[in-house]
Chains A and B, each alone.
Chain A
């Protein structure tokens, strides 16, 4: 077919161009196919799933039972979406009603490695049993390896009900 030429001179040149074209087309098309598979695959793996209906604010319980000035651990149920499963699971928050009638709700995990801490009434501080991180009543780090103050939930109060929103990761580093 194409390798049969009649004249000596133009043949290698024409063959050369044709060859270059073949090679370019091969690389180009394979690049295109790879991209058409790889890009959707990356999107599929990396884009977070569309959120299922979840109420943004969770009813954490009755505030009238919470004493002023002492943190209390409140337990509530929340829906957790895990891939194709939805669980109703128990969750907690350490809730503090301040003298000025403000409400602070701390996320229940130590900011160091996520252990559950508790309030030590005698020492008047939060103590994490894992690596002895200590937090003041306002969440500031008093000692131990914790890198930042306790995280707080967004809060909203409806009558006597405490509603919790997203957990806000506190940005400030402990000095």
Chain B
């Protein structure tokens, strides 16, 4: 212990760090300080968590469109703890916004922005704007449909700004639509420019808080001062811990989906902003035509300006918080407006249909050939799980099928499907009434099963399974290749999503020679559901 003290003393003599820390911790604070002042520390903490988890994500992230998506998918599906890191970063953003706003409300109702603390307040408002800027720029970085279309709307709003609009658009690199340039700008802002700026302003903010001291309430001057450490630090720590527990639980329990790779030609996608921007989204709907700019830029701009100028608008003397009825009323009104707009946005906007594929879930099914995948459809249709389990999941009347591949070959299985008693006298399994091709498909799937992929395959999304079924029963593989299986007469279908739009593919099914003259592909008349399934399936195929 004395050795340690020796080192500390040596260090202190050279750097003064211990003295500085002591000075920082033993700062005197007003007697009234307490639980209501913990929020600033929690905000700082949530910024640090964002910086840390952001760096962690960056270690496995490729910041260019396309690759960004693939690398995020790699983080989510292949790295242990990757989902947690993304969850912490994603929900951390929400926690940070909530905490920052609560911090601001507390300062506002206590009147802590009053002379001489005007600068502290104004820096704080800028920090709030920075926090929102992170949300806006970070939204694009997963480069899925949600990210892409959300950013299209955001940049279009920026474009409506009077005078500045065209310049903003050029600054954001979106004059020719959202693309590589916009992506690079957003990434640069999100990880290179905003963080040091935030750190600097936090430094200034904390310095100003220290310079003027924590804001006292009237009557404090009569009471003896307290020390910041350890009692207030303890309270801050408890609050930080509570926020951290909430964040951690959300990161573990609430799944953040990853939608399909951004598809600019997808005309059916309804973009919705992150929840903390929903009120603006709804507010915008109150204005139309040439008035739109008022809702999108002018009024929000005026609101921000008013917020910055709060200390100069209210120059009255500091009074007890219980007598600041006007401030309370104002906060209540703002909260009411915000809640109303947000609720209206949630209620009136059609909920986007559950993302067809959550690409952050295990996607082992994507590696299957259409024949194997169609086998899953037969497996489900024949209710095999009413007797058989897959990896312990299902009834236990027949054997668990997870290990079949090790013991049996396809020929045995097909014979067994046709006549269970013929192969295994005394078996209680009914024969399966399917054609040979269908039984082949079922056997192919069962042979693919192993304990590692069983639950992932068992949970293959219905559209993919049904899409593969359509693919298989129409003999598409007689001309096309998927995942390396099939003939080379037509083009291989992996990566179709990159080459063609959805509507093109759908029209092409109906009349191939209209869109590709001279093609030998016959027209296919699918039911609406089949068409939807096979197109979604083909679009979900891995690129190579």
Contacts and interface: CB of A to CB of B under 8 A. Distances in A.
Nearest to B235: A22
A29 B244 CA distance: 11
Contacts of A157: none
Contacts of B233: 22, 26
B81 A47 contact: yes
A37 to B, nearest CB: 6
Contacts of A33: 240-241, 244
B248 A36 contact: yes
Contact of B85 (A19, A36, A40, A83): A40
Contact of B234 (A22, A41, A85): A22
A50 B78 contact: yes
Nearest to B544: A86
Nearest to A87: B544
Contacts of A2: 231
B161 interface: no
B60 A83 contact: yes
Interface in A48-65: 49-50, 52-53
B498 to A, nearest CB: 15
A25 to B, nearest CB: 6
A3 B81 contact: no
B71 interface: yes
B81 A30 contact: no
B351 interface: no
A175 interface: no
Interface of B: 34, 49, 52-53, 56, 59-60, 62, 67, 70-71, 73-74, 77-82, 84-85, 88, 224, 226, 230-231, 233-234, 237-238, 240-241, 244, 248, 364, 367, 544
Interface of A: 1-3, 19, 22-23, 25-26, 29-30, 32-33, 36-37, 40-41, 43-45, 47, 49-50, 52-53, 83-86
15 contacts: A1-B34, A2-B231, A22-B230, A33-B244, A36-B244, A40-B84, A41-B81, A44-B79, A44-B80, A44-B81, A47-B80, A50-B79, A50-B80, A52-B78, A84-B70
B71 A44 contact: no
A17 to B, nearest CB: 12
**Interface residues of chain B: helix, strand, loop or mixed (majority):** helix
A101 to B, nearest CB: 29
Nearest to A36: B248
Contacts of A23: 230
A49 B74 contact: yes
Contact of A43 (B77, B80, B234, B248): B80
A36 B232 CA distance: 23
Given A1-B34, A22-B230, A49-B78, 4 more contacts: A30-B237, A47-B81, A84-B74, A84-B78
B258 to A, nearest CB: 13
Contact of A84 (B34, B67, B234, B248): B67
A52 B483 CA distance: 14
Nearest to B72: A84
A40 B78 contact: no
Nearest to A46: B80
A26 B62 contact: no
Nearest to A83: B74
Given A29-B241, A43-B81, A37 B49 contact: yes
B82 A44 contact: yes
Contact of B231 (A22, A40, A49, A84): A22
Contacts of A26: 230, 233-234, 237
B248 A3 contact: no
A130 to B, nearest CB: 33
Contacts of B79: 44, 47, 49-50
Of A26, A44, A47, A52, most B-chain CB atoms within 10 Å: A44
Given A22-B230, A37-B52, A44 B85 contact: yes
